[in-house]
Amino acid sequence: MKYPHRDEIPARRTDKISVGRTEIFSVRSRSKEEVEKIQVECAAPKEVATPAVPPVILLPLNDGSEHPITDGEFAEWKQLYPAVDVLQALRGMRGWLLANKTHRKTRSGILKFVTGWLNREQDRAKPSNDGKSMAQKRGLNAVHSNRVMNYDANRVNLEEW
């Protein structure tokens, strides 16, 4: 049997497949006007919904747009990476992406980049008994390093001896 030419296909052919509640029609089952209408709708730019809540930070992407980091993502990462100052890490990511334009990430790859960065930070951090990372403690107690405290303790012991 020879296949009919495209123009010979009837305008309304009942080729449809039902998958759950969705019905999928083949392109041949639609009229030329319907196909053109669908093509125009698909080609039209879609508006990106802006979130009502301002993002925690915006990370630049390779297409020139920015990916917003939401409060929900931020809160989840704080729980997943307890030894990391997540907000500071996000600031570092933004700075790195701004400085390295050729290495900016795509919209689909930005979350992989963020989680990879946070994983490395988590692995580098050495949490102490009170749950704070060494980096957080260094910021608070930079003057009182262990060397100075041990030196003073040894000095007292030598004077008593």
- At CA 137, angle to CA 59 and CA 68, rounded to 5? 10
Predicted pLDDT of residue 142:
46
Continuous segment of H or E residues that includes residue 32: helix 32-43
Instruction: With beta carbons less than 8 A apart as the criterion, state whether 121 and 80 touch.
Output: no
What is the tens place of the pLDDT at every residue in 133-155?
555 666 654 445 454 455 555 55
Instruction: With beta carbons less than 8 A apart as the criterion, state whether 59 and 110 touch.
Output: yes
| Rounded Cα distance, 77 and 69, in Å | 11
Predicted pLDDT of residue 27:
47
| Rounded Cα distance, 136 and 132, in Å | 6
- Residue-averaged pLDDT of the chain: 74
Q: Is a pLDDT exceeding 50 seen at residue 6?
A: yes
Predicted pLDDT of residue 126:
73
CB atoms < 10 A from the CB of 16, how many? 10
- 79: tokens are 């729980």
Predicted pLDDT of residue 83:
93
| Rounded Cα distance, 97 and 114, in Å | 11
| Rounded Cα distance, 81 and 92, in Å | 16
What is the tens place of the pLDDT at every residue in 82-118?
999 999 999 999 999 999 999 999 999 999 999 999 9
In the chain, where the domains are located: 6-43, 57-125
pTM of the model: 0.50
